[in-house]
Amino acid sequence: GQDGSYLAELLLNKGYEVHGIIRRTSNFPTTRIDHIHKDLNLYYGDVTDSSCLSRMIRQILPDEIYNLAAQSHVKVSFQEPVYTSNSVSIGTLNILEIIRDIKEDLDKSIRFYQASSSEMFGKVYETPQKETTPFYPRSPYGVAKLYGHWITVNYRESYNIFGCSGILFNHESPRRGETFVTRKITRAATRIKLGLQNKLLLGNLDAKRDWGYAKDYVEAMWMMLQKETPEDYVISTGETHSVREFCELAFNELGLNYRDFVSIDPIYYRPSEVDLLLGDSHKAKTQLGWTPQTSFNDLIRIMIENDLQLAEKEKFYASR
């Protein structure tokens, strides 16, 4: 996924030997890593398949494991709750169990990063949200992430495993999947600009999110695993914006008014919504020295620039 590709680049730049798991699909799901493909060791696997996972991890004996595996789409989790729970919750447990066994059998410690999520704050108890804010998940995905979070804490406390959870707020980029709202907007706005599409259907425009740049966020994942003691950290920008605002800025960037093109389709509403997320990453700033480098406006610009090029290519091929 998006984060795996940025993290792989970061680790390769630091001189790591990088091993990654990809799921088998009927087409090639590797476009995000094609440019570094030759430098990676890739395996077909799945976190829900514990025997395959165990064989692989015992063979590699890595120093660090980053668990970014998930059915990560919140709306889809209402339609596929069991698969979401298996990949997000049991997948995490499967990895932790292998780390626990390897520690006992071979006296080898493996540092573990768990991709926790701001979705766990859900119907928020306080604003901004920080490490001590109580959780109130609002989707099968959020509930499953909560299990992954607490089982990581539990294995840290029970078996002295070096496990950290990064509670990451929304993070986007040109590599973001096209069904997440930011990328859906930048893809549509640029295609509309070039006459390839004439409208964009969205759900709740009033939802507010703390959106950062994925490339900045993978840096924080790595930093957590370099600390002397494992802890959990909120990673966020400290700014919140509505989906409507994102639309406005993205279309403005192209000289367009979103009101002329965006319509509401209730099909995109969720059975229960997370209305507002805003993170306080003071702990990450003071203890890890991590700060976000990319502003909201710059993030939108980066995504629009990338998607405009994609739309131009699309138009070129369509005209041949």
Q: Which parts of 161-220 interact with ligand G4F (CB under 6 A)? A: 169-170, 179-181, 184, 202-204, 207, 209
Is 5 considered catalytic here? no
- 268-280 burial, b for 16+ CB within 10 Å, e for fewer? eeeeebbebbbbb
In 3D, which of 189, 197, 195, 180 has the Cα closest to residue 249?
189
Candidates 72-80, 127-135, 153-161, 291-299: pick the segment binding ligand G4F (CB under 6 A): 72-80
CB of 39 to ligand G4F, least distance (A): 26
CA distance 53 to 19: 12
CB of 37 to ligand G4F, least distance (A): 24
Residue 286's Cβ-side half-sphere holds a number of Cα atoms within 13 Å equal to 4
- Strand-strand pairing, 171-172 and 212-213: parallel
Per CB under 6 A, 119 contacts ligand G4F: yes
> Nearest 5°: CA angle at 37, between 35 and 38?
110
Residue among 5, 85, 117, 118 flagged as catalytic: 117
Per CB under 6 A, 129 contacts ligand G4F: no
CA distance 198 to 182: 18
Candidates 99-107, 117-125, 155-163, 307-315: pick the segment binding ligand G4F (CB under 6 A): 117-125
The contacts of residue 207 (CB under 8 Å, 6+ apart) are 242, 243, 273, 274, 275, 276
Count of residues of this chain found to bind ligand G4F when the rule CB under 6 A is applied: 23
Instruction: CB nearer to ligand G4F: give 97 or 219.
Output: 219
CB of 206 to ligand G4F, least distance (A): 9
Is 119 considered catalytic here? yes
Contact 280, 238 (CB under 8 A): yes
CB of 293 to ligand G4F, least distance (A): 19
Instruction: CB nearer to ligand G4F: give 111 or 209.
Output: 209
Q: Which residue is it, tokens 């700033």?
A: 285
Residue 258 structure tokens? 């979103």
Residue 112 structure tokens? 């573990």
Residue among 6, 66, 113, 141 flagged as catalytic: 141
Which one of 67, 117, 190, 236 is in contact with ligand G4F (CB under 6 A)? 117
Instruction: CB nearer to ligand G4F: give 72 or 94.
Output: 72
The contacts of residue 74 (CB under 8 Å, 6+ apart) are 119, 139, 141, 142, 270, 274
Q: Which parts of 239-298 interact with ligand G4F (CB under 6 A)? A: 243, 268, 270, 273-274, 277
Which one of 84, 87, 94, 118 is in contact with ligand G4F (CB under 6 A)? 118
Residue 245 structure tokens? 């605002």
Instruction: CB nearer to ligand G4F: give 8 or 188.
Output: 188
Binding mask 290-319 for ligand G4F (x = CB under 6 A): ------------------------------
Per CB under 6 A, 77 contacts ligand G4F: no
For residue 131, count other CB atoms closer than 10 A to its CB.
16
For residue 230, count other CB atoms closer than 10 A to its CB.
19
Amino acid at 59: Q
Residues belonging to the active site: 117, 119, 141
Give the interface with ligand G4F as residue ranges (CB under 6 A).
Answer: 72, 74-75, 117-119, 169-170, 179-181, 184, 202-204, 207, 209, 243, 268, 270, 273-274, 277
